[in-house]
Copies of this chain bind each other. A is one copy, B any other.
Amino acid sequence: MNRPQVVIIGGGFAGLACARGLAKTKADVKLLDRRNFHLFQPLLYQVATGALSPANIAAPLRSIFRRQKNCQVLLAEVADFNTVDRKVELIDGRSVPYDYLVIAPGSTHHYFGQDEKWEPLAPGLKTIEDATEIRRKILSAFEAAELLQPSPARTALLTFIVIGGGPTGVEMAGAICELAKHTLKNDFREIDPRQARVILIENSPGILNNFHDSLSTIAKKSLVNMGAEVWNNTRLTEIHEDHVIVTQDNQSMRIDSHTVVWAAGVKASPLGKKIVDRLGAPASLDRAGRVVVDKACAIPGHQEIFVLGDAASFTTEDGKVLPGVAPVAMQQGRYVGELIAGTLKGEAISKSFSYLDKGNMATIGRSHAVVESGKIRLSGGIAWLAWLFIHILYLARFENRVLVLMQWFWNYLTRNRAARLITNVESQVK
């Protein structure tokens, strides 16, 4: 009589795929999220640099599940788990019972133990608010510079620092270059935005280290051609309101800048630790704070509790831990959806999850990208088209797909970034 209750925490790539996989089952699916939308995080940097609006890359969860009547979206924040009575406890005191629990809360920024000091000074790129805050900081720096005479203070305002040479850092650095060198080039009267410095700080000797060496070299060259400075073997040691301190070859250096973007590290959601604390051994976290899961993406000893995406530590056959990227999350979500659907139909599914790695891609700027898939390696315009195609394919699942495509195409043609609004400025509102 009672329908099986599946509770999914998080409406990201993993949670979405899992909930969809349960569409034709007799389960009641409850999708819990703190936000009322699914966010296409890989394009957040386009919002941060004024090329797209938040609504272009976010779709209301309720729209997505409008027709899936067995799925209820709940705007809620999880406080804790009661694994004895099988309930998820919410911060407002209510609780949601589960038969199957899918935990896919994602990750947040990791400031290497300096969270409280660094986070307000160097916002990262995880939420819509992060993106509009970075947009505000970047655009406000140009505005403030326009009001000054040539001076070290003005140079500092026109210096932009991106911490971390992974895909997000490279995309951000490339996009800020485009903004400064092209979009804004005729917009000011006192300053020449093309003289802005964009500095990418990376600890290691290369950038995009998960790519083949040849591609990371090309990426670095492209970024430099676009006008960015790539500082490798450089360690960030301090961040302040108006400068950062970095170390190269044991030498400390100061860079004056008001705009620092964080793209250096993420940590798993604290919900992982909560569920492990409640369950006790054999449930455990890995060193990065992710929940160790078995071949079925479940917590060992608890075949009814799954952890997916960035919050999970899944070790493949050949001993590698899967990275926190969208394709892993989507494939895990789809797998667990099928697994639960099968179980509900009474089919025992013994197939383990296996990740099909379709490759890596990163954009560097307008019509520059690097793509690798198996033995195929692409760069330049053709790679950019491949990148665009794949992203549009995914976005095609959003309702506003046509518009995002139009907006991109328009921006591409005109190098325009029409969404460069400075919003949520306390002192300037009203």
A residues touching B (Cβ–Cβ < 8 Å)? 34-37, 53-56, 58-60, 62-63, 66-67, 69, 72-77, 92, 94, 108, 126-129, 132, 139-140, 143-144, 146-147, 184, 186-190, 399-400, 402-403, 406-407, 410, 414, 416, 418-424, 427-430
Once the chains are docked, how many angstroms separate the CA of A128 from the CA of B423? Answer: 7
Chain B residues, Cβ within 8 Å of A428: 34-35, 77
Whether the pair A143, B75 counts as a contact (CB closer than 8 A) is: yes
Once the chains are docked, how many angstroms separate the CA of A393 from the CA of B219? Answer: 44
- 9 A-B pairs with C-beta separation under 8 A: A35-B422, A36-B422, A37-B422, A63-B418, A66-B187, A75-B140, A129-B424, A129-B429, A402-B406
Greatest chain B CB density within 10 A among A59, A69, A418, A424 is at A418
Once the chains are docked, how many angstroms separate the CA of A56 from the CA of B126? Answer: 23
Once the chains are docked, how many angstroms separate the CA of A428 from the CA of B410? Answer: 33
Chain B residues, Cβ within 8 Å of A66: 186-187
Whether the pair B407, A403 counts as a contact (CB closer than 8 A) is: yes
Once the chains are docked, how many angstroms separate the CA of A402 from the CA of B418? Answer: 12
Give the nearest-CB partner of A183 in chain B: B63
Greatest chain B CB density within 10 A among A53, A184, A190, A410 is at A53
A94 to chain B, nearest CB (A): 7
Chain B residues, Cβ within 8 Å of A399: 414, 416, 418
Give the nearest-CB partner of A128 in chain B: B423
Once the chains are docked, how many angstroms separate the CA of A429 from the CA of B69? Answer: 28
